[in-house]
Amino acid sequence: MNTIGDLNGKRVLFLQGPMGSFFARLDKQMRHEGAITHMIALNAGDWFFANKDHVITYAGSTEAWARFILDVYKRYGIEYLFLFGDCRDYQRVALGVGRELGIKFFVFEEGYVRPDYITMERCGVNHFSKIPRDRHFYEKLSLDEKIEEKLPTRNSYFKMATSAMFYYAIANIFKGYFPYYKHHRDLSVAKEFFYGIRSVYRKVYFTLTEKKYDALFQTTFSQKYYFVPLQVHTDFQVREHSDFEKVKDFITLVMNSFALHASKDTMLVFKHHPMDRGKKVYDDYILSLSRELGIEKRVLSLHDVHLPTCLKHTIATVTINSTVGLSSLYHLVPTLILGKAIYDIEGLTCKGMQLDDFWTMHHKPDEILFKKFRTFLINNTQINSSFYGDLGALKSKVKFLTQ
**pLDDT given at position 1:** 39
Exposure string over 289-306, b if 16+ CB within 10 A, otherwise e: bbeeeebeebbbbbbbbe
The total domain count for the chain is 2
What is d(CA 259, CA 295) in angstroms, rounded to the nearest whole number?
A: 7
Residues 206, 309 within the same domain: yes
pLDDT reading at 402 higher than 70: no
In a domain, 173, yes or no: no
**Mean of pLDDT values over 361-368:** 98
Residues 142, 59 within the same domain: yes
Examine residue 334 and say whether the peptide bond preceding it is cis (omega within 30 degrees of 0).
no
Residues 199, 348 within the same domain: yes
What is d(CA 258, CA 267) in angstroms, rounded to the nearest whole number?
A: 9
**pLDDT given at position 157:** 85
In a domain, 57, yes or no: yes
Tell me the HSE value of 55 on the side-chain side, using a 13 A CA sphere: 18
Residues 111, 11 within the same domain: yes
pLDDT reading at 3 higher than 60: no
Tell me the HSE value of 44 on the side-chain side, using a 13 A CA sphere: 15
Residues 85, 209 within the same domain: no
Phi-psi sector, 88: left (phi>0), alpha (psi -120 to 50), beta? beta
What pLDDT digit, counting tens, does each position of 78-103 carry?
Answer: 999 999 999 999 999 999 999 999 99
What is d(CA 385, CA 115) in angstroms, rounded to the nearest whole number?
A: 9
Residue 117: φ, ψ to 5°: -130, 150
Residues 152, 199 within the same domain: no
CATH number (domain holding residue 283): 3.40.50
Position 232, amino acid:
V
In a domain, 170, yes or no: no
**Mean of pLDDT values over 158-175:** 92
Residues 23, 150 within the same domain: yes
Please check whether residue 186 is in contact with residue 193, taking contact to mean a CB–CB distance below 8 angstroms. no
Residues 151, 193 within the same domain: no
Residues 130, 213 within the same domain: no
In a domain, 171, yes or no: no
Which among 20, 200, 55, 111 is positioned nearest to 393, based on CA atoms? 111
- Please report which confidence band the pLDDT of residue 319 belongs to, taking 50, 70 and 90 as the band edges: very high
**pTM of the complete model:** 0.93
In a domain, 390, yes or no: yes
What pLDDT digit, counting tens, does each position of 224-266 carry?
Answer: 999 999 999 999 999 999 999 999 999 999 999 999 999 999 9
Domain of 26 in residue numbering reads as: 2-160+378-398
Residue 7, judged by CB atoms within 10 A of its CB (0-12, 13-18, 19+), counts as buried
Helices (H), 346-393: 355-361, 367-381
Please check whether residue 108 is in contact with residue 83, taking contact to mean a CB–CB distance below 8 angstroms. yes
